[in-house]
Structure 1
Amino acid sequence: MDTSAARVHEQIRARLAAAVGADAADLGRIAEEAALRLHRSGQEPDFEVRSADFATDPFFVCADRYWRQRFADRPSSDTALACARWIAAHTAAGCRSAVREQWALGNGFINRSHLETREQLDEAARGMAEVPGAADLALTMLLYHAGKLRANFAFDDLNAVLTTSALAAAAGPHRDEPVVLALRSFAAFGSRVLTAEHARELLDRAWTAPHRSRHVVDVCLNGLAFSVPFDGQGDLLRRLAQEAVDSHPDDHMFRFRLATAHHLCADHDEALAHVDAALAMLARQGTFSRELLLEQYLVKRDAVQEARLRAAREAEHEARWRRQDAANADLEQAMHRSSVRAVELVAVFTSAIAFAVGSLQITLSGTLKLRERLWLLTALGAGLAVFALLIIGGTWLITRRRSRS
């Protein structure tokens, strides 16, 4: 390194060291200026990154902005390989996995429109077969390409790259890393070929892995949210998202996933409350992809509002139908009672008319004595009364059975 380059690096280190403890806005501005200066001069950062904290570590933020510029200029596997080598040489062991996942998946999402072919990826994997630490380098490149496929919801292509590609083979034992298992579960949940049982098995392995990272949690919840529908999807997402929110109460993405879970469970009031909380957190944090996330959150909020209004209308219609059914039942019973009364009335009138006609014939014709005529009238009246009572009793018995049924 020549004298001028060394001076630049020394000035940048001093500037970043002075930014420690600054508020988020000043820290981000200072780190952005330092990253731009390095990128324009064609020099990589020469300092060590000891954390993956965007809020308090200006060295990490500067390196993050620098590699974002590098990937934006050339979003290829060559840049991913250069980034992987820098991570291996300039990050502390305790934060290396977190930095790798942040940069590989994050830059894959940002550069999702630039996809390399399977042949290009296989060629890149073969080119580093004998390189020391090849498995770590291959893992970074694998996650970078997986981040692109995940962002494009290319579920089956993602599963193929993670399981059968030369990059996956070069990653060796890293294929069982929780982040890789989480990405495989994401691919399986969205695939129309793989089963939900297989996806849940991968999810359980990733979720229960010791020291799972924030990105593992995010990918697992993302896969559940965009899964092909299956029984219990909403309840499972709600349980895991609530666990994530309890562990990371200030994470707007996990709050958004919880809102999605309540939306799937048709709990619209809770969904609306959580998506509003996610929007408030996003406004306070102001991440790089804020505008994209803001649009996504607002779309979900509109969907929740629409579902909430639709549910209210459906409840109103159902109540109206219930009232109408009750009114119809009352009307049916009233008509039924009226028809019974009509039958009874007809029976009484028929008996009365028959008695009147019969009594006139007995009274006005024949040579019977008065006592005999009175006995005939009494017998006729009793017979007709019994007839009317039989009709009324039979009608009551029949309608009583129908009412019970």
Structure 2
Amino acid sequence: MDHALIEASLGELTAANSRELERKCEQIALSYIAQLVEPQFDVDSADFARDPRLICADRYWNLRFQAAPTLATAVDCAGWMAEHVVAAVQDPIREKWAMGYAFITRNSVESAAEIADATADVVAADDSACNKAYFAALYHAGKLRANFFYDELEIFLAASPLALAAGPHRESVLFTALRAFAAFGSRTTVHQHGCALLDQMWNSAERTFAATDVVLNGLAAGKDFDGRAQLLRDRSAEAVAAYPGRDILHFRLATGRWMCGEYDAAMADIDEALRLLPAIGWRVSHELLQGQYLARRDAIEAARAADRQARIDRDRVQSTEREVDRLAGEVRGTVLRAVELVTVFAAVIAFAVGSLNVSLNGNITLADRIWIVVTQGVGLLLFAFLILGGSWFIADRLARRSERRDRPED
């Protein structure tokens, strides 16, 4: 295989359009696979969109992992990176490959025995064993994360010989993010521990896009706790601002807003995620992500429709209650007027009858008769005012109670 010719061909693709670039790179990657040879060119950038060498290497290792989704392949990939990827761009490429290849091969989680065998091979290797163990550990942890095996992931990161063999890499932001992911979903770990790990990773000067996405994924999919939805919404909004143009972060933000009941904003974000999702390329993850986004969009639309109907029903109930209160007020007013009329009429009749009896009684002096009539009139007047006052008081209490019920709460 003429490696020099292939490298020259890749160099000529720098000006090609995206479809031609990917088609040519895939052909070259397939030729490497067919001849059981690893690429011999070097990669000096992390531009997955325009760098022909990186795109070709990405396609080659994508095919390798799909054909053999094992830790042995991860170890080989880590060894190739150590030899052919310049140190300045190894971290972003390592994180993207480890999490991406783990996602598309998540249906092939290896057993403890297989992990032990791979660990033995790594430890017995050269002085790059630490880097190889780190990449292999990220790959296996990525599979556990993609399958939401929270407890298994927590145990693997804390005590697995493969994870321990990663040495100082265990303090990386991506390792911390994976620990936070496991803590958010673990049945034995309190959510405060996950929040502490989230803050540790979030405030790190070395925070990366991959670590940010992992921790937001854990927050979205893990156990519920007070403030979880608001935390996911706020952190996702910060992530969108920090890493613009990333479809997955808009998906996380849409999820947070959906959980907070902000359905219109959530719909705008999920539509943006679908718009940003690349429509070209060979990655299996494209269809998987598109399916997730569309399912979330359906859930947001259903929640928004239910919320809209609930508001309509609530407005209808409130309108009915206001009409009932209005009619009740009219009835109260009518009854009050009737009570007033009956009270006044009764008082007048009683006064007239009493006055007539006193006036016709010849045994009482005129002065006494006037005094009795006045006294009787004042008594009946006080009685009428007492009845009317009580009726007005009751009506006023009922009206105030109705106003308090209709007044919106702060």
Q: What TM-score do the two structures reach when normalised by structure 1?
A: 0.89
2:145 paired residue among 117, 136, 150: 150
Structure 2 residue identity aligned to 1:310:
A
CA contact (8 A) 1:344 1:391 kept: no
Structure 1 residue identity aligned to 2:339:
V
Question: Which has the higher mean CA deviation after the structures are superposed, 381-390 or 50-59?
Answer: 381-390
CA contact (8 A) 1:183 1:219 kept: yes
Specify the SS of the correspondent of 2:277: helix
Partner of 1:197 in structure 2? Answer: 192
For residues 27 and 20 of structure 1, what CA distance do their matches in structure 2 show?
8
Partner of 2:8 in structure 1? Answer: 14
For residues 95 and 220 of structure 1, what CA distance do their matches in structure 2 show?
22
1:42 paired residue among 16, 36, 59: 36
Structure 1 residue identity aligned to 2:390:
I
Partner of 2:48 in structure 1? Answer: 54
For residues 119 and 387 of structure 1, what CA distance do their matches in structure 2 show?
104
1:282 paired residue among 267, 277, 280: 277
For residues 374 and 283 of structure 1, what CA distance do their matches in structure 2 show?
109
For residues 212 and 27 of structure 1, what CA distance do their matches in structure 2 show?
31
* Alignment deviations for residues 332-367 of structure 1 (CA, whole Å, 9 cap, x no partner): 444444444443333333334434544665677x6x
1:386 paired residue among 378, 384, 389: 378
Of structures 1 and 2, the one scoring higher in RCO (CA 8 A, sep 6+) is: 2
Matched, 1:107 2:105: no
For residues 123 and 162 of structure 1, what CA distance do their matches in structure 2 show?
17
Q: For the structure 1 residues 342 and 126, does the alpha-carbon distance in structure 2 shift closer, same or farther, using more than 3 Å as the test?
A: same
1:271-350 matches, within 5 Å, as 271-283=266-278, 288=283, 289-350=285-346
Structure 2 residue identity aligned to 1:32:
E
For residues 88 and 217 of structure 1, what CA distance do their matches in structure 2 show?
25
1:215 paired residue among 196, 210, 213: 210
Question: Which has the higher mean CA deviation after the structures are superposed, 138-147 or 18-27?
Answer: 18-27
Partner of 2:235 in structure 1? Answer: 240
For residues 79 and 173 of structure 2, what CA distance do their matches in structure 1 show?
22
Structure 2 residue identity aligned to 1:114:
S
Q: What's the Cα RMSD here?
A: 2.5
* Alignment deviations for residues 175-212 of structure 1 (CA, whole Å, 9 cap, x no partner): 11111101111111122321221111111122222232
Specify the SS of the correspondent of 1:20: helix
Question: Which has the higher mean CA deviation after the structures are superposed, 37-46 or 66-75?
Answer: 66-75
CA contact (8 A) 1:126 1:166 kept: no
For residues 236 and 354 of structure 1, what CA distance do their matches in structure 2 show?
75
Q: For the structure 1 residues 229 and 145, does the alpha-carbon distance in structure 2 shift closer, same or farther, using more than 3 Å as the test?
A: same
For residues 209 and 360 of structure 1, what CA distance do their matches in structure 2 show?
101
For residues 127 and 72 of structure 1, what CA distance do their matches in structure 2 show?
21
CA contact (8 A) 2:29 2:57 kept: yes
Shift of 1:39: 0.2
For residues 155 and 82 of structure 2, what CA distance do their matches in structure 1 show?
27
Percent of aligned pairs with the same amino acid: 39
* Alignment deviations for residues 312-336 of structure 1 (CA, whole Å, 9 cap, x no partner): 2222222222223333333444444
Structure 2 residue identity aligned to 1:390:
L
**Matched residue count:** 395
Specify the SS of the correspondent of 1:48: coil
Q: For the structure 1 residues 203 and 315, does the alpha-carbon distance in structure 2 shift closer, same or farther, using more than 3 Å as the test?
A: same
Gaps of 5+ in 2: 401-410
Question: Which has the higher mean CA deviation after the structures are superposed, 40-49 or 394-403?
Answer: 394-403
For residues 246 and 265 of structure 2, what CA distance do their matches in structure 1 show?
17
For residues 383 and 307 of structure 2, what CA distance do their matches in structure 1 show?
53
Q: For the structure 1 residues 384 and 310, does the alpha-carbon distance in structure 2 shift closer, same or farther, using more than 3 Å as the test?
A: farther
Specify the SS of the correspondent of 1:128: helix
CA contact (8 A) 1:355 1:380 kept: no
1:141 paired residue among 130, 136, 147: 136
Q: For the structure 1 residues 287 and 322, does the alpha-carbon distance in structure 2 shift closer, same or farther, using more than 3 Å as the test?
A: farther
Gaps of 5+ in 1: none
For residues 328 and 22 of structure 1, what CA distance do their matches in structure 2 show?
73
